[in-house]
């Protein structure tokens, strides 16, 4: 499976680095953590995070996650998204991208991910 990505508030990521795992409100509410493949990140950012500030993007190595990952669509659309059914060990996080806003304050992919 290819690398997974998650957009999250910077404060949630800071907490995860201290506690050793990432969990989110969607895990508590829905039983899984919403993620994206790289080609889906910008669409997710526009649909779910438009106008929000203080967000970062981080990558997750699915081979280092010790719980179930399902690629599925639970909202009735055609596109499939990865869902992680449990906490993400911080050791599975590859990189945290802090530079996710352009000069106009709009979320965008970091430069190094745009050519991938």
- CA dihedral (29, 17, 1, 77) positive or negative: positive
Structural domains in the chain, CATH included, are: 4-114 (3.20.170.20)
Predicted model pTM: 0.90
Task: Specify the pLDDT at position 26.
Answer: 87
What string of pLDDT tens digits covers the 116 residues of the chain?
799 999 999 999 999 999 999 998 888 898 999 999 999 998 898 888 887 888 899 999 999 999 999 999 887 778 999 999 999 999 999 999 987 777 777 788 887 888 77
Task: Specify the pLDDT at position 109.
Answer: 84
Rounded Cα gap, residues 90 and 72, in angstroms: 23
């Amino acid at each position: 499976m290819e690398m997974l990505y998650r957009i999250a508030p910077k404060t949630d990521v800071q907490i995860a680095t201290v506690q050793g795992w990432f969990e989110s409100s969607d895990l508590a509410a829905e039983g899984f953590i919403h993620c994206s493949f790289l080609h889906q990140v910008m669409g997710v950012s526009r649909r779910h995070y438009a106008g929000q500030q203080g967000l970062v993007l981080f990558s997750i190595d699915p081979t280092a996650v010790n719980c179930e990952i399902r690629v599925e669509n639970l909202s009735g659309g055609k596109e499939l998204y990865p869902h992680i059914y449990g906490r993400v060990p911080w050791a599975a996080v590859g990189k945290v991208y802090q530079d996710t806003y352009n000069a106009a304050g709009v979320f965008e992919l970091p430069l190094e991910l745009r050519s991938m």
